[in-house]
Amino acid sequence: MTRFAVIGDWGTSRLRLFRIEQGAIVARRDGPGIGAVGRAAEAAFADTIAPWLDDGTPESITLCGMVGARDGWVEAPYADCPADAATWRQTAVRFDWRGAQLAIMAGLACEGEDGIPDVMRGEETQIFGALALDPALATGRHLIVLPGTHNKWSLVEDGRIISFRTMPTGELFALLRDQSTLGPKVELTDPADEAAGFAEGLERAGDAKLLQSLFAARAMRLRSGRSGDWALGYLSGLLIGCEIAEIMTTLSGADGVVLIGDKRLSARYAQALDARGIMSRALDGDGCALAGLGFTGELTA
Amino acid sequence: MTRFAVIGDWGTSRLRLFRIEQGAIVARRDGPGIGAVGRAAEAAFADTIAPWLDDGTPESITLCGMVGARDGWVEAPYADCPADAATWRQTAVRFDWRGAQLAIMAGLACEGEDGIPDVMRGEETQIFGALALDPALATGRHLIVLPGTHNKWSLVEDGRIISFRTMPTGELFALLRDQSTLGPKVELTDPADEAAGFAEGLERAGDAKLLQSLFAARAMRLRSGRSGDWALGYLSGLLIGCEIAEIMTTLSGADGVVLIGDKRLSARYAQALDARGIMSRALDGDGCALAGLGFTGELTA
Same domain, yes or no: A233 and A288: yes
Residue B256 has pLDDT above 90, yes or no: no
The angle that helices A216-224 and A228-251 make with each other, rounded to 10 degrees, is: 140
In a domain, B126, yes or no: no
For the segment B271-283, the average pLDDT, to the nearest whole number, is: 94
- How confident is residue B188, by pLDDT bands cut at 50, 70 and 90? confident
Are A116 and B216 within 8 A, CB to CB?
A: yes
Could you count the other beta carbons within 10 Å of the beta carbon of residue A15?
24
Asked if A218 and A258 touch (Cβ cutoff 8 Å), the reply is no
Same domain, yes or no: B293 and B146: yes
End-to-end CA distance of chain A: 22
Asked if B16 and B5 touch (Cβ cutoff 8 Å), the reply is no
- pLDDT given at position B203: 94
Same domain, yes or no: B198 and B227: yes
pLDDT for A68-96, tens place per residue? 999 999 999 999 999 999 999 999 999 99
Between B210, B212, B242, which is nearest A165 by CB? B212
Are A215 and B176 within 8 A, CB to CB?
A: no
Between A150, A214, A223, which is nearest B215 by CB? A150
Cα–Cα dist B191/B1, whole Å: 54
Asked if B100 and B8 touch (Cβ cutoff 8 Å), the reply is no
Top-confidence residue, B260 or A55: B260
For the segment B245-269, the average pLDDT, to the nearest whole number, is: 88
Cβ–Cβ pairs < 8 A, chains A and B = 120
Contacts of B215 in chain A (CB under 8 A): 116, 118, 150, 165-168
Phi/psi for B195 (5° steps) reads -65, -40
For the segment A226-238, the average pLDDT, to the nearest whole number, is: 96
In a domain, A86, yes or no: yes
In a domain, A115, yes or no: no
Are A167 and B220 within 8 A, CB to CB?
A: no
**The domain that contains B264 carries what CATH number?**
3.30.420.310
Same domain, yes or no: B113 and B144: no
DSSP string for B1-33: ----EEEEEE-SSEEEEEEEETTEEEEEEEEE-
* Degrees to nearest 5, angle at CA B110 with B105 and B114: 165
- pLDDT given at position B251: 74
- Closest to A110 (Cα-Cα) out of A46, A175, A157: A157
What is the span of the domain harbouring residue A156? Answer: 122-301
Q: B93-97 and B100-104: which strand pairing?
A: antiparallel
In a domain, A116, yes or no: no
- ipTM associated with this complex: 0.91
Amino acid symbol at B229: D
Same domain, yes or no: A156 and A246: yes
Cα–Cα dist A285/A263, whole Å: 9
Same domain, yes or no: B87 and B221: no
In a domain, B132, yes or no: no
Contacts of A225 in chain B (CB under 8 A): none
Contacts of A223 in chain B (CB under 8 A): 109, 117-119
Q: What is the dihedral of CA B75, B81, B82, B85, to 10 degrees?
A: 20
Residue where one domain finishes, among candidates A49, A77, A109: A109
Cα–Cα dist B108/B155, whole Å: 13
Top-confidence residue, B218 or B251: B218
pLDDT for A108-156, tens place per residue? 999 988 889 999 999 999 999 999 999 999 999 999 999 999 999 999 9
For CA atoms B221, B224, B230, B236, give the dihedral sign. Answer: negative
DSSP A185: -
Same domain, yes or no: A188 and A300: yes
For the segment B48-72, the average pLDDT, to the nearest whole number, is: 95
Quote the number of domains for chain A. 2
Same domain, yes or no: B94 and B141: no
In a domain, A199, yes or no: yes
Are A165 and B215 within 8 A, CB to CB?
A: yes
| Least confident range of A45-49, A248-252, B146-150 | A248-252
Between A119, A181, A223, which is nearest B223 by CB? A119
Q: A107-111 and A78-80: which strand pairing?
A: parallel
Asked if A50 and A72 touch (Cβ cutoff 8 Å), the reply is no
| Residue A215 Cα, gap to closest chain B Cα (Å) | 6
